[in-house]
Amino acid sequence: MLHVRVISPTHRTAEVLRIALDCPGAVNVVKFLGAATSPEGDVVEFSLAREAANAVLDELRELGLRDSGSITVEQIDLSISAAAEQAEEAAPGDPQDAVVWDELAARVTADTRLSWSYLAFLALATQIAGIGVLLDQPILIVGAMVLGPEFGPVAALCFGILRRRPALMGAAVRALVVGFAVAIAVTTACAGVSRLLGWITPEMLDNRPMTQFIAHPDRWSFIVALLAGIAGILSLTAGKSSALVGVFISVTTVPAAGNIAVAIPLAHWGEVGASLKQLGVNLAGMVIAGILTLLVQRLLWARFGLRIESAARRRSASSP
pTM of the model: 0.82
Q: Which amino acid is at 12?
A: R
pLDDT at 284 over 60: yes
pLDDT of residue 317: 45
At 303, is the pLDDT very low, low, confident or very high (cuts 50, 70, 90)?
low
pLDDT at 302 over 90: no
At 236, is the pLDDT very low, low, confident or very high (cuts 50, 70, 90)?
confident
Percent share of the chain, pLDDT over 70: 88
pLDDT at 164 over 70: yes
Query: What does the radius of gyration of the chain's CA atoms come to, in whole angstroms?
Result: 24
CB 191 within 8 A of CB 130: yes
Q: Which amino acid is at 90?
A: A
| Residue 23: count of CB within 10 angstroms of its CB | 23
CATH, domain 2-93, list 3.30.300.30, 3.40.1800.10, 3.10.20.30, 3.30.70.260 = 3.30.70.260
pLDDT at 178 over 50: yes
CB 47 within 8 A of CB 1: yes
Q: Which amino acid is at 35?
A: A
Mean pLDDT across the stretch 277-282?
93
pLDDT tens, 88-146?
A: 887 776 667 678 888 888 889 998 998 999 999 999 999 999 999 999 999 999 899 88
Domain boundaries along the sequence of the chain? 2-93, 103-303
